[in-house]
């Protein structure tokens, strides 16, 4: 779990030096008059890399005013990259944040090294010498004698870990997993050109509300129910209703424990079974994180505008 990994990391520091959360600033810790620690976490995704978001509103406010270290927890507390503030600004110089004001930083295991790629950059930096550098926090902590990198393997990306990542993702809105997955689906639909709506009724006087629809030409292309709690039977009835009123495709986003039940109650529904897909949370969130980065990079190439000079995107 995200919080467990962060807590274990902070406990390691606490064994060496006093450290407490900074009041009112999420994921930031004080080492008392030395450095602030800005802690970010990522699991290893199926593409074999870690993804971290860094809030530029925070770090640019602290620049030249407060010393800080960005701590990138790669899977668990055994592999943490300590990025001093000056290195962060050096590596991310010229990087453009996304719509949420976040720098999306990639860390790629390569042999016994970890390679850090700033947002939008084609080159990556070998950050092996910054791994587990607890001595950066205080001069009283000796540097490690051995800093062998043991990057976690992909088995860390099970559904429980992914759910924790969804709940910790600052780019998603909502107080529950259900609401955050709806927000995720709305954003993915928008990126690929659909008109999106949530709590959709078809027709308007329908007794059923669909969690999310993706539409083209005001027609429902995809109707989606998020089933991470509540009644699977109600989700089935809403999707049958969506098919009757023109949805070309229907899908249900489900946590693993509900999949068997959904299949069993939909198998003998002729209006539904041949059109229904069950989308897992793991691939959906991976699609979202990959898509967020892709479309941030893609938009300047897509934009059509007159320019005084020939544009160059290095």
pLDDT, tens digit, for every residue of 27-54? 999 988 678 999 999 988 877 889 899 9
pLDDT above 70 covers a percentage of the chain that reads 93
Q: What architecture is domain 2-156? A: 3-Layer(aba) Sandwich (3.40)
Quick one: pLDDT at residue 144?
63
Quick one: pLDDT at residue 33?
66
Q: Minimal CA–CA distance to 173: which of 190, 164, 186? A: 186
Residue extent(s) of CATH 3.40.1350 domains in the chain: 2-156
CA distance 170 to 16: 30
Quick one: pLDDT at residue 3?
59
CATH fit for domain 162-293, picks 3.40.50, 3.30.70, 3.30.1050, 3.90.1570: 3.90.1570
81 has pLDDT over 60: yes
Instruction: State mean pLDDT over 246-266.
Output: 90
Quick one: pLDDT at residue 146?
45
Q: Which residues contact 55 (CB under 8 A, 6 or more apart)?
A: 101, 102, 170
Report strand pairing: 125-126 vs 195-200.
unpaired
pLDDT, tens digit, for every residue of 273-309? 888 999 999 889 888 988 877 887 777 787 788 788 8
Quick one: pLDDT at residue 154?
46
Q: Minimal CA–CA distance to 252: which of 271, 159, 138, 272? A: 272
Least confident of 56-60, 227-231, 234-238: 227-231
pLDDT, tens digit, for every residue of 147-172? 445 545 444 446 887 888 888 887 88
Please indicate, yes or no, whether the overall pTM of this predicted structure exceeds 0.85.
no
Residue extent(s) of CATH 3.90.1570 domains in the chain: 162-293
Task: Write phi, then psi, for 176 (nearest 5 degrees).
Answer: -130, 165
Quick one: pLDDT at residue 147?
47
1 has pLDDT over 80: no
Q: Give CA separation, 189 vs 171, 238, 245, in Å.
A: 16, 20, 20
Instruction: State mean pLDDT over 74-96.
Output: 91
Average pLDDT of the residues of the chain: 86
Q: Which residue has the higher pLDDT, 273 or 266?
A: 266
């Amino acid at each position: 779990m995200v919080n467990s990994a962060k807590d274990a990391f902070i406990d390691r520091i606490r064994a060496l030096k006093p450290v407490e959360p900074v009041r009112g600033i999420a994921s930031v810790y004080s080492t008392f008059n030395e450095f602030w620690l800005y802690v970010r976490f990522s699991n290893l995704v199926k593409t074999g890399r870690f993804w971290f978001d860094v809030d530029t509103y925070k770090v640019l406010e602290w620049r030249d005013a407060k010393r800080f270290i960005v701590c990138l927890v790669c899977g668990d507390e055994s592999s943490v990259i300590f990025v001093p503030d000056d290195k962060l600004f050096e590596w991310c110089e010229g990087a453009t944040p996304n719509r949420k004001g976040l720098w999306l930083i990639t860390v790629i295991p390569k042999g016994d090294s970890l390679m850090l790629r700033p947002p939008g950059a084609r080159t990556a930096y070998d950050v092996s010498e910054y791994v587990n550098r607890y001595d950066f926090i205080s001069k009283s902590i000796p540097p490690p004698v051995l800093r062998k990198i043991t990057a976690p393997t992909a088995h860390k990306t099970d559904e429980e870990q992914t759910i924790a990542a969804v709940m910790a993702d600052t780019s998603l809105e909502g107080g529950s997993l259900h609401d955050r997955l709806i927000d995720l689906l709305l954003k993915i639909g928008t990126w690929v050109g659909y008109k999106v709506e949530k709590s959709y009724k078809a027709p308007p006087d329908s007794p059923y509300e669909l969690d999310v629809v993706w539409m083209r030409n005001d027609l429902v292309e995809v109707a989606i129910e998020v089933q991470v709690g509540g009644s699977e039977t109600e989700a089935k009835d809403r999707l049958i209703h969506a098919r009757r009123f023109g949805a070309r495709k229907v899908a249900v986003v489900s946590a693993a424990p509900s999949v068997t039940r959904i299949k069993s109650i939909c198998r003998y529904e002729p209006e539904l079974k041949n059109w229904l897909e069950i989308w897992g949370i793991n691939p959906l969130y991976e699609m979202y994180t990959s898509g967020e980065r892709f479309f941030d990079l893609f938009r300047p190439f897509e934009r059509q505008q007159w320019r005084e000079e020939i544009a160059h995107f290095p």
